[in-house]
Structure 1
Amino acid sequence: MSDALIDIEPGLAGVAPAVGEHVRGLRDPLHERILGTVRAAMRAQGRSLTGGQGQGLTLGVQTAVDSFVDALADPGRDLTATRAVFHALGRTEYREGHRVDALRTVLTLGARDIWAFLVAHSPRTAPADLYVIAGALFGYADALAGAAAEGFLDEQRDAAQDWATTRRRLITLLVQPEPPGDAALHAAVDAARWVLPRTVAVLSVDGVDAEHLARTIGGGAIATVVDDAVRVVLPDPGAPGRLDRARRALAGRRAVLGPTVELGRARLSYRISRRALALRQEGRLPADAPVTTDEHLLTLLLAWEPGLADHLTDAWLAPLAGLRPATRRTLTETLHSWLRRQGQVVAVAEELHTHPQTVRYRMRQLRAAFGAALDDPDTRLTLQLALRHHLGADSPRQPPGRRNPPPR
């Protein structure tokens, strides 16, 4: 808003001071007339001038009228205080849930009514001066509406920042190492205006559009950005249609869905989805959107601690380390199939497209390398995990180093 009315309408410099003084004399009836007009406009919007916002708007109308009539008599007077009143009214409009243009409508109607009143009560004012006053009046109303719109948008921005901070605090509380106490949890839930769910699942999604994603998923989802990725807490994922809607919202996004857990175990779902997203970024999980971690728990288990599965493979496949690469590859594939097929030679031969006798020959070599360990259930499980990791690696690994062989 301009600092003075003369900045809005420079033609006021040529209007005789007596015109301004005449308008000043109409202050009281203008108050009454414009308040009536504003009340009617408010009723049309389903509102009234009672309550805090009504009292504030009444004060705003009086301030606007007083400031305008005084500025006609003194066009250079500062209008900053008037701007502040309407900036505050714009903030209140947002807080009370009204539209950004509701106050502008009231101001426009008020300005028209002021103009009609001035024309009717200024028979001795020259038409040229009335036209100048009209330009000043409607420019003034636009400037006040602009100040109100700025206030509305400022409040909207501040509220969004406060809302994001409040929900971020809630999510941080849910996924912290120690489960929050009941009092702290309920206080955070109340502040975030969230309905406390029985179960949750945490989504990890590439990107930083947390608020947009939460709104798109709906169903009470809340989200924030943690470590350069969006973390979405999805309440009661088992509710009808909730997961389907989340999947639709995530179409085309790199995302993973953690397991559904009780609210007090939200950190587990968060940690699993976080690690799964990292694996997906590395290309070690499917590119489907979203990946459901419950379908890839074995991959997650093997890849949870970087380097641990490599060490497992090196240690437990050490008996094959001294063989030629082609022989080592053949024997590891055979052993993996034999373990998966529970020792059924014919099934192994069919899977490997070879003769059963060849499988038996290879198994004699493997028994010579591993000994009685191949008959131990725990050893079989460990070997199968090591082989799965070794044969499922995306890039060829170095031959397992010579280390202490597994127990026999």
Structure 2
Amino acid sequence: MSDALLDIEPGLAGLAPAVGDHLRGLRGALHARILGTVRAAMREQGRSLTGGQGQGLALGVQTAVDTFVDAVADPGRELTATREVFHALGRTEYREGHRVDALRTVLTLGARDIWAFLVEHTTSAAGRNPGPAPADLYVIAGALFGYVDALAGAAAEGFLDEQRDTAQDWATTRRRLVTLLVQPDPPAEAVLRAAADAARWPLPTTLAVLSVDGTDAEQVARGIGAGAVAAVIGDAVRVVLPDPGTPGRLDRARQALVGRRAALGPTVERHRARLSYRLSRRALTLHQHGALGREPVVSCDDHLLGLLTAWEPGLAAHLADTVLAPLAGLRPTARRALAETLHGWLRRQGQVVAVAEDLHTHPQTVRYRMRQLRTLFGPALDDPDARLVLTLALRQQPTGAADQQPDRAQDQLPTGGADPRFADGVDRRPAGGADRYRSG
């Protein structure tokens, strides 16, 4: 807004002092006329001048009229104070939920009524107490409508400033709520309720935390809807989704995240929100490295084993190196064949024929390899806990040494791949030597 009315309409400098004095004499009549017009305009908008904003607007209109008639008499005077009044009115308009152009409409109607009043008064007073000459009226009209545009601009700035500040306040409030929910120590119920009330967020019974690529928390939360609140924590958006079991809620969340990489933590009770957060956070990290498949949005509940074995970076690899150490001294090809056989034998719970079908080899070859494995691993193959650890190790490092390149040596068996002790289909091993987990 310009600092003076003279900046808006330079022609005011040429008006005789009597013109300004004449407008000052109309101050009271202008107040009554414009307040009536403004009151009618507000009623059409479904508003009233009796409330706090209505009283503030009435005071603002009176201030605007006083400033204008004084500025016509003294066009160089500053308009800063009036501009601040309308900037504040614009802020209040936003807080009370009105449109950005509602106040401009009221101001425009008021300006037209002032102009109509001045024209009517000049015409009716002709010959008795004549008002401004027509040429002077046109100068006043230019100043009036420019002045109202300037006030409307100040109100719009106030509206937008309040909108921006409120958005920042909401982001801060909701970030505090999300942070409270996922912090290591659950907050006191009273503290959590106060934070939820400040964010206007009804506390749910259950929730799930989504970790999403990006930093546009508010946009993600709006897209998901259904009461989702979000904040940027670390290097990604963390979304708290209330009551995920509500029909269609998870489907809508997935649809809103099309084209985004995300990980959905498990549904938990409210006080266990940190568990859902930690799992989704770790899952998103693994997903970013391609470890959890190609689906854009992965569910932690579908990848619990992968999360378990990959939770501490390097631990699963160390487990595999340690547990599969008996294979380390073998040639790469033999090591790979024995690791694949052991993995299949553990998964098939010792069913030799099934393992052979999986590996596209002969059952006798599987039995031969298992005897080698029993020599290498000893009683561990009969221990349930050891078999579990071996399964995890082989899942991490299925060939027994993923970083080694295979050579061209083959895991050959005598006589074309068949153990001679099984040449006629009869087991000629010493008593007690048969596979304990063989079936078929």
Report TM bin, short chain: over 0.9
Deviations 1:9-59 (A, max 9, x none): 111112222111111111100000000000000000000001110110010
Matched, 1:14 2:21: no
Separation in 2, partners of 1:398, 1:70: 91
Contact 1:254 1:287 in 2 (8 A): no
| Residue 301 in structure 1 maps to residue 301 in structure 2 | no
Question: What residue in structure 2 maps to residue 89 of structure 1?
Answer: 89
Amino acid of the residue matched to residue 403 of structure 2?
R
Contact 2:335 2:399 in 1 (8 A): no
The residue that corresponds to 2:403 in the other structure is 397
CA deviations over 1:323-375 (Å, ceiling 9, x no partner): 01111111111111111111111111111111111111111111110012101
Contact 1:42/1:49 (CA < 8 Å) preserved in 2?
yes
Partner residue, 2:335:
328
Contact between 2:324 and 2:393, CA under 8 Å: does it hold in 1? yes
Indicate the residue corresponding to 2:109 in structure 1. 109
- TM-score (normalizing by structure 2): 0.89
Quick one: distance in 1 between partners of 2:9 and 2:83? 17
Where in structure 2 are the equivalents of 1:380-391 lying within 5 Å? Answer: 380-391=387-398
Q: Which secondary structure does the structure 2 equivalent of 1:122 belong to?
A: helix
Residue 218 (structure 1) aligned to one of 209, 212, 225 = 225
From 164, 177, 181, give the equivalent of 2:184.
177
Q: 1:260 aligns to what? A: 267
CA contact (8 A) 2:174 2:229 kept: yes
Conserved 8 A contact 1:174-1:266: yes
In structure 1, give the amino acid aligned to 2:37: T
1:378 aligns with 2:379: no
Contact 1:203 1:256 in 2 (8 A): yes
Tell me the CA shift for residue 397 of structure 1: 2.8
The 3-state SS of whatever aligns with 1:310 is helix
Q: Is the 8 A contact 2:337 2:399 kept in 1?
A: no
CA positional deviation for 1:398: 5.2
- Equivalent in the alignment of 2:293: 286
Contact 1:390 1:397 in 2 (8 A): no
Which of residues 200, 203, 217 in structure 2 aligns to 1:193?
Answer: 200
1:83-162 aligned at under 5 Å gives the runs 83-123=83-123, 124=130, 125-162=132-169
Question: For the Cα contact (< 8 Å) 2:345–2:351, is it kept in 1?
Answer: yes
Write the distance in 1 (CA, Å) between the matches of 2:404 and 2:57. 77
State the identity as a percent. 79
SS state of the match for residue 209, structure 2?
strand
* Alpha-carbon displacement from aligned partner over 1:295-328 (angstroms, at most 9, x marks no partner): 0000000000011101110110000000011111
Tell me the secondary structure at the aligned position of residue 114 of structure 1: helix
Q: Is the 8 A contact 1:255 1:290 kept in 2?
A: yes
Structure 2 residue 79 is matched with structure 1 residue 79? yes
**Aligned residue in 2 for 1:52:** 52
Report the CA distance between 1:391 and its aligned residue. 2.3
Q: 1:262 to 1:392 in 2, by over 3 A?
A: farther
- Note the aligned Cα RMSD (angstroms): 1.3
How many angstroms does 1:392 deviate by?
8.8
- Structure 1 distance, partners of 2:295, 2:11, is 67
Once residues 49 and 383 of structure 2 are traced to their aligned partners in structure 1, the CA distance between those partners, rounded to angstroms, is 84
With structure 1 as the length reference, what TM-score do the two structures score? 0.96
Secondary structure at the residue paired with 1:391? Answer: coil
Give the direction of change, closer, same or farther, for the CA distance of 1:392–1:54 in structure 2 (3 Å limit): farther
1:319 maps to amino acid: P
5+ residue gaps, structure 1:
400-408
SS in 2 for 1:234: strand
Query: What is the aligned partner in structure 1 of residue 242 from structure 2?
Result: 235
Letter in 2 for 1:82: T
> Matched residues in 1 for 2:351 and 2:195: separation?
58
Distance in 1, Cα, partners of 2:46 & 2:87:
22
Q: Which amino acid is 1:112 matched to?
A: R
**Residue type matched to 1:62 in 2?**
Q
Note if contact 1:256-1:273 (Cα within 8 Å) is conserved in structure 2: yes
CA distance in 2, matches of 1:306, 1:93: 54
Aligned equivalent of 1:249: 256
Given the alignment, which residue of 357, 361, 381 partners 1:350? 357
Secondary structure of the residue aligned to 1:164 is helix
Structure-2 residue corresponding to 1:5: 5
Between the aligned partners of 2:294 and 2:74, the Cα distance in structure 1 is 70
Instruction: Give structure 2 stretches of 5+ with no counterpart.
Output: 124-129, 406-440
Among 350, 359, 380, which residue is 2:366 paired with? Answer: 359
* In 1: Cα distance, 2:271 partner to 2:111 partner: 58
Could you tell me which amino acid in structure 2 is paired with residue 202 of structure 1? V
The residue identity in structure 1 corresponding to 2:164 is R
- Counterpart CA distance in 2 for 1:56 and 1:396 is 75
2:375 to 362, 368, 386: 368
The amino acid that maps onto 2:377 is F
C-alpha displacement of 1:131: 1.2
CA contact (8 A) 1:276 1:293 kept: yes
- Aligned residue for 2:174? 167
Question: Residues of 2 paired with 1:109 and 1:41: CA distance?
Answer: 8
- Asked whether the equivalents of residues 200 and 235 of structure 1 are also in contact (C-alpha less than 8 Å), the reply is yes
* Aligned residue identity for 2:386: T
Paired residue secondary structure (2:142):
helix
| Residue 66 of structure 2 is aligned to residue 66 of structure 1 | yes
